[in-house]
Structure 1
């Protein structure tokens, strides 16, 4: 009897397994230099749960994975889609509405969506070494007419690549093929994602790389290098707003809702300027150096439904121009 009593006491003293929240996101978010480890630790301290970030490549690959997995997906939350992918994600029917008590985001645009929750934003731009270019183009036409070499990302797999596609589409519509035709000679290569493209730029393989107006902040703050800049186009710059959403089939709906609320917290938002190198989507102090960044005078953004409608035609123009 004593042995049975001791065994029962030992078993009941063992800690129960913590709830697990599975978050699909892109690879750079989960990297050791990204916000993932910091966000994970902060939320686990608040929720008394285990957070598992699953890298899925880039945002477009994330949607493709969800379409493949369907209602049986392991994801409770998806983090890292943007407005160009919202409609495709919504059409999967896999998402549920966000909590109705979320904080109001602080964005350059009015935000109204009952499913997708913004967490950061910036403007797409071409980044360059400021002492390496004598004549910085101020438009896509000027860039296409120059001998400046660029690296871009594939719009079929990369959210920045898709952002560039929609940026040119927003400006030129059905005439975008002419711009892509002019840019074809400038393009050194098209990479699957942002990290590969930016790495090639840093290695000196191209004069410019498609990135963000906030990218120079990394070099200024982390490396004390003020030599990177973003080219300002008079015609305007396309805005990227990155979002998160909860899966309707999650077995942790309350935990998923808690994570969506956590996104607006200072514990989450304060990490983004120096890990994501993007603007936070909710009001928080920005580190010194962000005040030196270029801010476009014209912000461009197509509504999710319009971006979805225009995507295939824009992609066909891009593919045709670059295959010539």
Structure 2
């Protein structure tokens, strides 16, 4: 190659990444706070990022935090100075508390396509998936799984369980509400009874489920949909959800736009995008949950093998807001913390 052509080629090679960098610098960045299991390569985040960036002309960036309740805590601490445009991974029972912060803005999203059990209507928050809480057990270690929450509470204290912290974790908060829905005024006493079985209380879902899959605990608080992952990805039915006669607590996951978003129209586009088939198709085998809106295709066969709760349990969000601190204090006393 002639010297002049070498110099030209070198200049082109140097200019290409600079041009790409300049182009990237012109793209608005949409920052989404979410929970840590949403963001890894095996989670839904990368596929959703690619799908949205293909239509938005933006750079979608997920920031993984401990868990859903931790997202709310982080936003309260940051206030109007938060860098988040969207918070994804909050739950329906937190809506009144979320609104009380004054941090969120109306979504402008049409929710008529939702398929969430019992329906959902709100001007600020958009559901993106749902599931039911369940205690998932290792069938190679647990021959007789509990058939009710009462049976779990009074079961063999030598057969340990892992749960999540109600102050930082959405499934942990869900269990707090599940216990209250089933046991009412006896919840604190039942927490004390259950404490004999608890090996550990983790900050979030990932830590607890990691202990379970490593064989360090035979039963873990998770979701009815969790066994689908093991069936589809590992080809095993070893890990199963115990069906409880009193019912299972329904958890609906939401996202909302921050009032201080630097890109409000883009944030609203993302919230609307969550209800499209392109987003919802990722949910079953990305987040291992049930889609909140039509996907345009049937669920994988493994989802037909899951526990189907005969009785969905919920406590109205306004009641949760009024009593969450009180019920959390009961939980702490019951666990001796």
TM-score by length of 2: 0.89
**293, 297, 308: which one aligns with 2:306:** 293
Q: Which moved more, 1:291-300 or 1:123-132?
A: 123-132
Residue 244 of structure 1 aligns to a residue whose secondary structure is strand
2:99 is matched with which residue? 90
Contact 1:63 1:88 in 2 (8 A): no
1:260 is matched with which residue? 271
Contact 1:201 1:209 in 2 (8 A): yes
Contact 2:66 2:203 in 1 (8 A): no
Task: Tell me how far apart the structure 2 counterparts of residues 100 and 57 of structure 1 sit (CA, whole Å).
Answer: 27
Can you give the 5+ residue segments of structure 1 that lack an aligned partner in the other structure?
A: 1-10
Q: After superposition, give the CA deviation of every residue in 1:184-238 in whole Å (9 maximum; x if it has no partner).
A: 1111111111111111111222221000000000000011011111111111110
Query: How far apart are 1:132 and its partner, in Å?
Result: 2.8
User: 1:175 and 2:197 equivalent?
Assistant: no
1:319 is matched with which residue? 332
Task: Tell me how far apart the structure 2 counterparts of residues 12 and 189 of structure 1 sit (CA, whole Å).
Answer: 52
2:212 is matched with which residue? 201
2:78 is matched with which residue? 69
1:306 is matched with which residue? 319
Contact 2:250 2:313 in 1 (8 A): yes
Residue 184 of structure 1 aligns to a residue whose secondary structure is helix
Contact 1:103 1:264 in 2 (8 A): no
Task: Tell me how far apart the structure 2 counterparts of residues 55 and 45 of structure 1 sit (CA, whole Å).
Answer: 22
2:44 is matched with which residue? 35
Q: Which moved more, 1:48-57 or 1:94-103?
A: 94-103
Query: How far apart are 1:117 and its partner, in Å?
Result: 0.2
Query: How far apart are 1:17 and its partner, in Å?
Result: 0.6
Q: Which moved more, 1:41-50 or 1:127-136?
A: 127-136
Residue 71 of structure 2 aligns to a residue whose secondary structure is helix
2:245 is matched with which residue? 234
Task: Tell me how far apart the structure 2 counterparts of residues 195 and 12 of structure 1 sit (CA, whole Å).
Answer: 40
Give the root-mean-square deviation of aligned CA atoms. Answer: 1.8
2:7 is matched with which residue? none
1:23 is matched with which residue? 32
Contact 2:113 2:294 in 1 (8 A): no
Query: How far apart are 1:56 and its partner, in Å?
Result: 2.1
TM-score by length of 1: 0.93
Q: After superposition, give the CA deviation of every residue in 1:69-89 in whole Å (9 maximum; x if it has no partner).
A: 112211111111002322221
Residue 287 of structure 2 aligns to a residue whose secondary structure is coil
1:57 is matched with which residue? 66
Residue 23 of structure 1 aligns to a residue whose secondary structure is strand
Residue 313 of structure 1 aligns to a residue whose secondary structure is helix
1:279 is matched with which residue? 290
Residue 270 of structure 2 aligns to a residue whose secondary structure is helix
1:187 is matched with which residue? 198
After the TM superposition, which segments of 4 or more aligned residues of structure 1 sit over 3 Å from their partners?
11-16, 100-103
Residue 52 of structure 1 aligns to a residue whose secondary structure is strand
Task: Tell me how far apart the structure 2 counterparts of residues 74 and 276 of structure 1 sit (CA, whole Å).
Answer: 24
Taking the TM superposition and a 5 Å limit, the aligned residue runs for 1:44-193 are: 44-147=53-156, 148-193=159-204
Task: Tell me how far apart the structure 1 counterparts of residues 178 and 61 of structure 2 sit (CA, whole Å).
Answer: 34
Task: Tell me how far apart the structure 1 counterparts of residues 29 and 153 of structure 2 sit (CA, whole Å).
Answer: 50
**How many correspondences in the alignment?**
314
Contact 2:192 2:336 in 1 (8 A): no
Q: Which moved more, 1:229-238 or 1:11-20?
A: 11-20
Task: Tell me how far apart the structure 2 counterparts of residues 271 and 18 of structure 1 sit (CA, whole Å).
Answer: 25
Query: How far apart are 1:102 and its partner, in Å?
Result: 4.3
Q: After superposition, give the CA deviation of every residue in 1:31-65 in whole Å (9 maximum; x if it has no partner).
A: 11111111111100110111111112211111111
Can you give the 5+ residue segments of structure 2 that lack an aligned partner in the other structure?
A: 1-17
